[in-house]
């Protein structure tokens, strides 16, 4: 059963923190002497850059998968002004851990469950930074993204770690597996460019096969907040912004000399438009594949129903 662990024996009002605002994350890791944290070294330098803008802000952070709890102590030092640091782990032995920093909250249970989601959001209804270092299985990663991304603030970030697992069958992946977690995030890049598809379909359309396979949903109005997807070795970073910041915007023509290709000034401040791709076989291909998959899934459900078998 999922539980929340309050830090024990610490007076919230008296906590002064372990602020090390000028230290790099590598330095914080090097100097750390408390509970163990286990991370690949390249993440530390990347995190200095990815998390720089949140460093001194009153952020709320959720880390899924905290094992020995060391990373929460490290985030406590790295984010001196964080208002809440929530760690979630499925391992029930986690209940033994205590933290000196009262900003740290511990939720024990499967991050991909209603119960745990409710407990996490009870600690902080809005999130600025989410780090998924949990099971690394493709199903969990896609579903966890869908579960927590809606609660990330615009301007916030969702980070999935250890994406190398998405190339391994043992973690529900493979280099050309269309349902791997990295395939899911690659497809989010198409969501960002939704306005250019030229087929008048909602952004969620490209994710339908993941919705079906892993049994979850993401609403189009949430997907419109996906601002960028960045891939670094084994890390995927999804930034969230208000939808109006995710459009191409109008054309901006500067300069007055156009000796080679004239006529640009008329285009100044015009909007972009997508070329109609209704007849593009390479655009329609996926649509046909989706329709075929839906048809076969419906048939399979009907067969199972008639045979009195439980639906999957
Ligand atoms: C790689 S370790 C995390 C390492 C940690 N971030 C650190 O810095 O040391 C992965 C952790 O994820 C936890 N985990 C696996 N599946 C999970 C799930 N569905 N929900 C929450 N935690 C999960 C495991 O119990 C394990 O402790």
110 CA: nearest ligand 1 atom: 20
- Distance (Å, rounded) from C-alpha 218 to C-alpha 211? 8
**Are 64 and 207 part of one and the same domain?**
yes
Crossing angle of helices 114-123 and 138-148, rounded to 10° = 40
Query: Does any ligand 1 atom lie closer than 6 A to the CB of residue 119?
Result: no
pLDDT tens-digit readout, 159-206: 999 999 999 999 999 999 999 999 999 999 999 999 999 998 999 999
Examine the pLDDT at 17 and tell me if it is beyond 50: no
User: For residue 300, what pLDDT is reported?
Assistant: 77
pTM above 0.85, yes or no: yes
| Residue 175 Cα to chain centre, angstroms | 21
Q: What are the residues whose beta carbons fall under 8 Å from the beta carbon of 164, sequence distance 6 or more? A: 233, 234
- The residue whose CA is least distant from atom 11 of ligand 1 is 65
Return the residue matching tokens 């493709």.
138
246 CA distance to ligand 1 middle (Å): 32
- CATH number of the CATH domain containing 29: 3.40.50.150
User: For residue 114, what pLDDT is reported?
Assistant: 98
Query: Does any ligand 1 atom lie closer than 6 A to the CB of residue 70?
Result: yes
**Are 289 and 151 part of one and the same domain?**
no
User: For residue 94, what pLDDT is reported?
Assistant: 85
What is the arithmetic mean of pLDDT over 16-44? Answer: 86
Query: Does any ligand 1 atom lie closer than 6 A to the CB of residue 120?
Result: no
**Are 174 and 295 part of one and the same domain?**
no
**Are 31 and 101 part of one and the same domain?**
yes
Helices (H) and strands (E) in the chain, counts: 9, 8
Cβ contact 235:43 at 8 Å: yes
**Are 281 and 165 part of one and the same domain?**
no
User: For residue 9, what pLDDT is reported?
Assistant: 32
User: For residue 305, what pLDDT is reported?
Assistant: 82
pLDDT tens-digit readout, 252-309: 999 999 999 998 889 999 998 999 999 999 998 666 666 666 677 678 778 888 888 8
91 CA distance to ligand 1 middle (Å): 8
DSSP state of 66: -
**Are 16 and 72 part of one and the same domain?**
yes
- Distance (Å, rounded) from C-alpha 28 to C-alpha 20? 8
pLDDT tens-digit readout, 48-102: 999 999 999 999 999 999 999 999 999 999 999 999 999 999 999 988 899 999 9
**Are 205 and 118 part of one and the same domain?**
yes
Q: What are the residues whose beta carbons fall under 8 Å from the beta carbon of 37, sequence distance 6 or more? A: 29, 67, 68, 70, 71, 73, 74
Q: Let me know if residue 253 belongs to a domain.
A: no
Query: Does any ligand 1 atom lie closer than 6 A to the CB of residue 97?
Result: no
Which comes out higher in pLDDT, residue 284 or 208? 208
Q: Let me know if residue 269 belongs to a domain.
A: yes
Cα end-to-end distance, the chain, whole Å: 24
Q: Let me know if residue 102 belongs to a domain.
A: yes
**Are 222 and 270 part of one and the same domain?**
no
The set of catalytic residues is 136
CB atoms < 10 A from the CB of 40, how many?
13
**Are 209 and 65 part of one and the same domain?**
yes
Query: Does any ligand 1 atom lie closer than 6 A to the CB of residue 65?
Result: yes
Q: Let me know if residue 260 belongs to a domain.
A: no
161 CA distance to ligand 1 middle (Å): 11
**Are 200 and 59 part of one and the same domain?**
yes
Total domain count, the chain: 2
DSSP output for 85-103? EEEEES-GGGGG---S-TT
For residue 233, give its domain range. Answer: 3-246
């Amino acid at each position: 059963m999922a539980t929340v662990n309050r830090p024990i024996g610490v007076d919230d009002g008296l906590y002064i923190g372990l602020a090390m605002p000028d230290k790099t994350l590598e330095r914080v890791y090097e100097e750390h002497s408390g509970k163990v944290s286990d991370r690949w070294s390249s993440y530390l330098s990347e995190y200095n850059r990815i998390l720089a803008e949140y460093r001194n802000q009153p952020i709320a952070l959720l880390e899924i998968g905290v094992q020995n709890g060391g990373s929460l102590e490290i985030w406590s030092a790295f984010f001196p002004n964080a208002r809440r640091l929530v760690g979630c782990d499925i391992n029930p032995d986690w209940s033994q851990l205590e933290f000196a920093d009262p900003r740290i909250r511990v939720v024990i249970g499967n991050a991909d469950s209603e119960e745990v989601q409710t407990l996490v959001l009870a600690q902080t209804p809005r999130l600025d930074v989410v780090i998924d270092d949990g099971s690394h299985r493709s199903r969990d990663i896609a579903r966890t993204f869908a579960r927590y991304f809606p609660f990330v603030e615009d301007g916030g970030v969702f980070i999935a770690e250890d994406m190398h697992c998405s190339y391994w069958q043992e973690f529900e992946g493979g280099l050309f597996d269309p349902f791997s977690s990295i395939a899911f995030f690659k497809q989010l890049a198409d969501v960002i460019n939704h306005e250019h598809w030229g087929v008048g379909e909602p952004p969620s359309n490209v994710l339908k096969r993941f919705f079906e396979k892993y049994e979850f949903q993401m609403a189009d109005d949430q997907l419109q907040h996906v601002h960028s997807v960045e891939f670094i070795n084994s890390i995927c970073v999804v930034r969230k912004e208000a939808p109006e910041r995710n459009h191409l915007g109008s054309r901006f023509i500067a300069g007055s000399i156009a000796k080679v290709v004239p006529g640009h000034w008329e285009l100044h401040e015009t909007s972009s438009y997508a070329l109609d791709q209704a007849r593009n076989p390479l655009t329609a291909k996926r649509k046909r594949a989706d329709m075929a998959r839906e048809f076969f899934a419906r048939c399979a459900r009907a067969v199972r129903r008639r045979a009195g078998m439980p639906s999957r």
